[in-house]
Amino acid sequence: MPPFDMEASFGELKENFDKVTNKINTSVQSALDENKRLGGLTEDTKAAVDKALAEQGHLKTQLDEIQASSRDLEQRFASGRRGGAGSAKSLGRMVVEDAADKIKAAKDGGVNGRISLGVFNAITSLPGSGGSLLPERREGEIIAEPDRKLVIKDLVTVGQTDQALIKYFREIARTGAAGIVPDDGVTVKPLIDKTWDATSAEVQTIAGRMEIHKHMLDDIPALRTDIDTTLTYEVNKVENAQILAGDGLGENFSGLITNATQYAQGTREQAGATILDRLRLAMLQVAAAGYTVDAHVLNIWDWAQAEMLKDSTGRYIFGNPFGETPTPRLWGRAVVDTDAMPEGDFLTGAFKMAATYYERQAVEILLSSENRDNFDKNMLTVRGEKRGVVAVKRPLALCYRPAA
């Protein structure tokens, strides 16, 4: 048997993915028109659309997994060259390892003022680490790993910035399309006209603090656990909620929901339409705008109700509940269920194309004795903070439907 050729396999999958995507793009408008004209899709059209969307999602999953495998090999090789073991470290572990001398000095000599334990780009996905609940991701693209639960930050493109203000252009409208034209040197080529809007977003700070007893400096494993399970978790939880639903007021991010294109398929809905029916129409709306949906975001209760749907024989539509994977999928697209999404609402779209999250500063950990009555109580305050901003550059790539 010949050895596995990752590059050739990726090329073949990419070719098939492009073919399926082109097929969906050419048929999506006719499906929408049929739905409007007949008050629904015929069974044949419905089956064809479902099959194409599922096939596209399946191929994208395979592409993502090959990319993830390739990236993992590259990272392990790079770690090996640096003399490292190639294993991920939690933020607490990084603090303990990189700031051990500072911690020991603070234990022996006391904390005067504040001590910085460092700025860390941590991957908090270790077993037993509280950070695995909301892992920090550094990739600049969505990687659909089969062994972990995704969060909002995983869906968008992640980049870095050294500026306090991000200026960018948003694509707010697109008209026209490519077409077949004679090669006569006279015919004007079709115009794909985009409307751009210049805007900006200010980097914001996400922070939290907790108090620890001074004697915890003697117990480094306990300090590591507290940093992972409390401080890092809470900061990352707010970060993900802001990326999704920040309303842009005051110090809040202007998040994905605030900038998404509103769901506009109400007239095409059939009587008794469910959230799953609307999600499929939302996928077609995004496809009609020229983008390939890569994920859905639902409220935790809405997704639970979808998972509990059964057919006429009492069998679960989504398969064996005991065989659930950490990354659930719907029509082949990743599903992120979060309580940051209002119940009854959903957001679907091409998240990686739609938005970029710029990090100005990764998590900084500070230790101080000068807070309230710390001295009297023999307590210390640990503060964690990070800085970032989200920029939604293609609102048409996101479709948001609020609850009726």
Using alpha carbons, select from 100, 72, 96, 99 the residue that is nearest to residue 86: 72
Percent of the chain with pLDDT over 90: 33
User: Is 65's pLDDT higher than 80?
Assistant: no
Distances in Å between the alpha carbon of 368 and those of 118, 180, 205, 378, 381? 13, 68, 19, 12, 5
Of the ranges 84-93, 118-127, 225-234, which one carries the lowest mean pLDDT score?
118-127
Q: Cβ distance 303 to 344 under 8 Å? A: no
Per-residue pLDDT for 24 more than 50?
Answer: yes
- Please check the confidence at residue 28 and state whether its pLDDT lies above 80: no
* Per-residue pLDDT band at 89 (split at 50, 70, 90): low
pLDDT, tens digit (0-9, with 9 covering 90-100), for 193-232: 888 999 999 999 999 988 888 887 777 777 878 787 788 8
CA gap 377, 383 in Å, rounded: 18
What's the CATH fold of domain 89-401? Answer: Major capsid protein gp5 fold (3.30.2400)
pLDDT at 145 over 50: no
Is residue 113 pLDDT above 80, yes or no? Answer: no
Say if residues 332 and 60 touch (Cβ distance below 8 Å).
yes
Res 343 pLDDT > 50: yes
Q: Which of the four pLDDT bands, split at 50, 70 and 90, describes residue 133?
A: very low
pLDDT band with cut points at 50, 70 and 90 for residue 3: low
13/390: higher pLDDT = 390
Q: How far is it, in rounded angstroms, from Cα 201 to Cα 164?
A: 9
**What pLDDT score was predicted for residue 262?**
96
Whole-structure pTM value? 0.68
Choose the weakest-confidence range: 16-20, 174-178, 267-271. Answer: 16-20
Report the length, in residues, of the chain.
404
User: How many Å apart are CA 154 and CA 62, to the nearest integer?
Assistant: 17
Q: Which residue has the tokens 């008209």?
A: 175
Residue 174's pLDDT is 84
φ/ψ of 393, rounded to 5, equals -90, -20
pLDDT tens column, 282-337: 999 999 998 999 999 999 999 998 888 888 888 877 666 666 666 788 888 999 99
Q: Can you read off the two tokens belonging to residue 34?
A: 């049929």
Instruction: Give whichever of 5-14, 155-164, 360-369 has the largest mean pLDDT.
Output: 155-164
In this predicted structure, which of 11-25, 121-135, 335-349 has the lowest mean pLDDT?
121-135
- Is residue 354 scored above 50 in pLDDT? yes
Q: Are the C-beta atoms of residues 245 and 251 closer than 8 Å to each other?
A: no
Give the chain's mean pLDDT.
Answer: 77
Can you tell me the distance from the alpha carbon of 341 to that of 155, in angstroms, rounded to the nearest whole number? 15
Count Cβ neighbours within 10 Å for each residue of 87-98 and write b for 16 or more, e otherwise.
ebbbbbbbbbee
Looking at residues 242-264, what average pLDDT do you find? 95
348 band by pLDDT with thresholds 50, 70 and 90? very high
What's the confidence (pLDDT) of residue 140? 39
Main-chain phi, psi angles of 201, to 5 degrees: -145, 135
The rounded distance, in Å, linking the Cα atoms of 23 and 147 is 31
Q: 29-50: per-residue pLDDT in tens?
A: 666 666 666 666 667 666 776 6
356 has pLDDT over 90: yes
Taking the CB of residue 317, how many other CB atoms lie within 10 A of it?
A: 11
In angstroms, the CA 94 to CA 363 distance is 11
Q: Yes or no: say if 131 and 232 are a contact pair by the CB < 8 Å rule.
A: yes
Does residue 118 or residue 54 have the better pLDDT? 54
Hey, which of 94-98, 215-219, 360-364 has the most confident mean pLDDT?
360-364
What's the CA gap between 140 and 86, in Å, rounded? 20
Q: Greater confidence, 378 or 246?
A: 246
Give the list of residues 6+ apart from residue 167 with CB closer than 8 angstroms, or none. Answer: 198, 199, 200
